Structure 1
């Protein structure tokens, strides 16, 4: 009797929490002596390095 093969599970990585899986985060842009906020700039997420997947330990 042949042994039954179980289908391999696909492992899906969890989404990165700071960027919510997008790989980009917004940072406030501050100008002047009083450092007033004038807008936001989008940059790469430093927690997942832009991949959007949660880092594993």
Structure 2
């Protein structure tokens, strides 16, 4: 009888928690006051949301 193996579950990326996006604070002025957040692609997983294998 053959046994079926499930593919291993891929781990989520740590910094973006699997979403593929990271938000950074936006600062303006001489006092560097925070006025909001800007969303961008996660550079650790390049937007895939999965942890790197190496």
Q: Do the two structures share a fold, i.e. TM-score over 0.5?
A: yes
Among 10, 29, 32, the alignment partner of 2:29 is 32
Which of structure 1's runs of 4+ aligned residues deviate more than 2 A? none
Q: Which runs of 5+ in 2 are unaligned?
A: none
Q: CA deviation at 1:11?
A: 1.9
Q: Taking structure 2 as the reference length, what is the TM-score of the superposition?
A: 0.88
- What is the CA–CA distance in structure 2 between the aligned matches of 1:56 and 1:28, rounded to whole Å? 29
Equivalences, count: 54
Name the larger-Rg structure: 1
2:44 maps to 1:47: yes
Q: Which runs of 5+ in 1 are unaligned?
A: none
Residue 7 of structure 2 corresponds to: 10
- What is the CA–CA distance in structure 2 between the aligned matches of 1:52 and 1:20, rounded to whole Å? 7
